Amino acid sequence: MIEEALKAFRKGKPVLIFDFEDREGETDIAIPAQFVKPREVAMMRIDGGGLICVAIHPLAAKRLGLPFMHDVLKAASEKIPTLSSISNFDIKYDTRSSFSIWVNHRDTFTGITDVDRAKTIRRIGEVVDIVMMNEKFDFGREFRSPGHVAILRASENLTYERVGQTELSVALAEMAGIAPAVAICEMLDSETGKALSKKKAMEYAEERGIPFVEGKEIVKHYKEFREVKAKLFI
């Protein structure tokens, strides 16, 4: 199924990514950011129901100067002590969060509509493509914060270091040879009030002809991808 997922990403189409049973146990709708239009935002909002974020490659985050939110809070806590206690990590599925800052594109109105979020997400994807080619870009010229789109900064070594939806989606984009910026949204179940089960997510994928790929598949193929890439540069 990994090949189907890669083909879909290259065409800018959605893929469902399930992480791991012993992690979040969640399926995310993942769509390459540079291809996101209002209808894709609506799909994530209605069929997913979770938080719509954009996961970006660590190199792009570094070149754009986008920090982890925990570093922002740590620095800010020196002047606002309350932030020190609320930024302590006690999440049950990992050691830390991938959250960076929340933004809106400066040409949006409220920033929350499908049209506005699509513009913000799509431009983030385009900007990531620009900086991955080592071109400079003034992020603040086009984006403001706070906003309605959460940026997630992937770990330095992607799935070698962390296997969250952030790293899985960015690794998939990298293998597909497209800009490593992906809009992701958790699929929730309104009946149970919890994450949509893997079974239901797979049924949704089959009904709509969307590739469904598991985290373990991405981890395996990304390792092979990196090994082949490393040999080419020896």
The residue segments making up the domain with residue 22 are 2-232
* 60-106 confidence digits (pLDDT tens): 999 999 999 999 998 999 999 998 888 777 777 666 789 999 999 99
Residue 25 DSSP code: -
- Residue 108: name the closest of 98, 91, 121 by CA: 121
* pLDDT tens readout for residues 141-164: 999 999 999 999 999 999 999 999
Which position among 40, 53, 57, 105 bears the catalytic label? 53
The mean pLDDT value for 10-35 works out to 94
Sign of CA dihedral 160, 163, 166, 169: positive
Annotated active-site residue 221? The verdict is: no
Please say if 93 is a catalytic residue. Answer: yes
Higher-pLDDT residue of 21 and 170 is 170
Is 148 a catalytic site residue? Answer: yes
Q: Is 88 a catalytic residue?
A: no
CA pair distance 43, 118, nearest whole angstrom: 11
Question: If you search the block for the tokens 């797979």, which residue do you land on?
Answer: 202
**Structural domains of the chain, count:** 1
CB atoms closer than 10 angstroms to residue 76: 14
Q: Assess whether 186 carries a catalytic annotation.
A: yes
Could you say which of 105, 186, 214, 221 is catalytic? 186
Integer Cα distance of 19 and 196 in angstroms: 12
pLDDT tens by residue, 106-130: 999 999 999 999 999 999 999 999 9
Q: What is the CATH number of the domain that holds 96?
A: 3.90.870.10
Integer Rg of the chain from CA: 17
